[in-house]
Structure 1
Amino acid sequence: MADEAHGEVVEPQEGLDPETRARREAALKHVRKYGDPVLRSRALEITHFDEKLREEVRRMGRLMHDSYGIGLAATQVGVMHRLLVYRTELEGSIAALVNPVLEWASKDKETSEEGCLSLPGVGVDVERPIHVRVTALDEYGKPILVEASGLEARVIQHEMDHLDGVLILDRTSRDQRKQAMRALREQLEATAA
């Protein structure tokens, strides 16, 4: 997924300068990886809208930006909050959704490759509704209504799945899941060597 972002991560071009590469690697160390039980847990509703929550949003936004992600759920950084941050352009503004609820999804669906910061090196085809309507709160507790299509809808659905302990591996074909598991094993063996 080098040029187009359909999931949670945009793979950066090979020629990253050393400082940017180091920042990305440092950010990715904070992201929980496949096998961590928190990724299979349902996050809890947020009831306190204070400076601590707003700092959590800022921290997640920085981690997402530095790791070249386009979405990040709180569970991916080990926090059991129903909170996600996302953006649809690499240098775009970061949106935060607290306690998001899918109100409506179109019958029209599209299959596209998705990646995930918690599943490094894995890309699988996932079918999702093209249009969604989501209600949520912002980090100050104010109601938000998001009507999203295309990439924005896909990213929101991907991150909302994380809040329910669902991974892209759960939404793909058996063959792709087997290939992804093989790739994850190979990567673990390579990093352990």
Structure 2
Amino acid sequence: MSVDLEPRTAPPYNHFTQIGDPVLRIRSDEVSPERLDSKEILGIVDQMVKVLRHYDCVGVAAPQLGVPLRIIAMEFREEKREQFTPEVYLQRKMSTLPLSVFINPKIEIIGDMQHTQPEGCMSVRGFSARVARYDRVRVTGIGMLGTPDELELVGWSARIAQHEMDHLNGIIYIDRMDVSSFICNTWARINSNGGRDVITFDK
């Protein structure tokens, strides 16, 4: 369900920071133990979940809202299945992922198999490319909002976790992509509209 968000000009934003913003290229700081239950951190987590659902995406890292802290949120709701053909859903090994929020997460690769699939990012709006990711990972950390402190993920959910963890280390998917596969997602629409088209950065 979409949530109306008033524009913010200071972090945590109601929008996604875009490539070029320095916050996306630095290693984020750990949240210290004394701050874990603070109103500040709880407010950031709440904002991350609101933005995640407002934009109907599957993951967000705190730096994407302008906050250089090691916090990630992930969710792949069952309703998102309708956005893909059954063939794509199966081929990309997609599955429901309940809301999962981690503070100071760590990721462990628990299988050698990799898959190369199209991947995009809300901080590189309008583009996508093929990226190789490991098929199985384990995420550990301080679980928030009912998230356990350890989660084993497979397929597309494992891809989401690796993508968001990269953000905490100043890495964007374009650093890992097959360069020749990098595309503007709206290229066909641009042509059919005679070049009169825009990439929007709000919902």
User: Normalised by the shorter chain, which TM-score bucket?
Assistant: 0.7 to 0.9
Stretches of structure 1 that go unaligned for 5 or more consecutive residues are 1-19
Query: Are the aligned partners of 1:53 and 1:139 in contact in 2 as well (CA < 8 Å)?
Result: no
Match of 1:35 in 2: 20
Match of 1:13 in 2: none
**What 5-or-longer segments of structure 2 have no aligned partner?**
80-96
The alpha-carbon deviation at position 68 of structure 1 amounts to 1.3
What per-residue deviation string (whole Å, max 9, x for no partner) do you get for residues 5-36 of structure 1?
xxxxxxxxxxxxxxx6x949969962101111
Equivalent in the alignment of 2:170: 165
Is the CA contact (8 Å cut-off) linking 1:68 and 1:90 kept in structure 2?
Answer: no
Question: Which structure has the greater CA radius of gyration?
Answer: 2
Partner of 1:129: 134
**Higher helix proportion (structure 1 or 2):** 1
- Give the share of equivalent positions with the same residue, in percent: 31
Moved more, 69-78 or 53-62: 53-62
- Counterpart-to-counterpart distance in 1, 2:130 and 2:153: 20
Of residues 95, 101, 109 in structure 2, which corresponds to 1:104? 109
| 1:138-181 deviation line (CA, Å, top 9, x unaligned) | 238x971111101111101000000001111001123235x56x
Going from structure 1 to structure 2, the CA distance change for 1:45 and 1:166 (only over 3 Å counts) comes to same
Match of 1:5 in 2: none
Does 2:74 correspond to 1:86? yes
Task: Check conservation: 1:49, 1:139, Cα contact below 8 A.
Answer: no
Structure 1 residues 90 and 24: alpha-carbon distance in aligned structure 2, compared to 1, 3 A threshold:
farther
- What count of residue pairs does the alignment treat as equivalent? 166
Q: Select between 29-38 and 79-88 the one with higher mean Cα deviation.
A: 29-38
46, 64, 85: which one aligns with 2:31:
46
Question: 2:89 matched to which residue of 1?
Answer: none
Partner of 1:174: 179
Q: TM-score, normalised by structure 2?
A: 0.71
| Structure 2 Cα separation of the partners of residues 161 and 80 of structure 1 | 13
Q: 1:120 matched to which residue of 2?
A: 125
The equivalent residue for 2:88 is none
Alignment match, 1:150: 155
Shift of 1:84: 0.5
Does residue 56 of structure 2 align to residue 68 of structure 1? yes
SS, match of residue 107 in structure 2: strand
Secondary structure, aligned partner of 1:102: strand
1:36-95 CA distance string (max 9 Å, x none): 111111100011211321221111000010011110000000001100001022667421
CA 1:153/1:25 → structure 2, altered by over 3 Å: closer, same or farther? farther
Distance of 1:66 and 1:90 partners within structure 2 = 16
Which residue type is aligned with residue 56 of structure 2? Y
CA RMSD between the two structures: 3.2
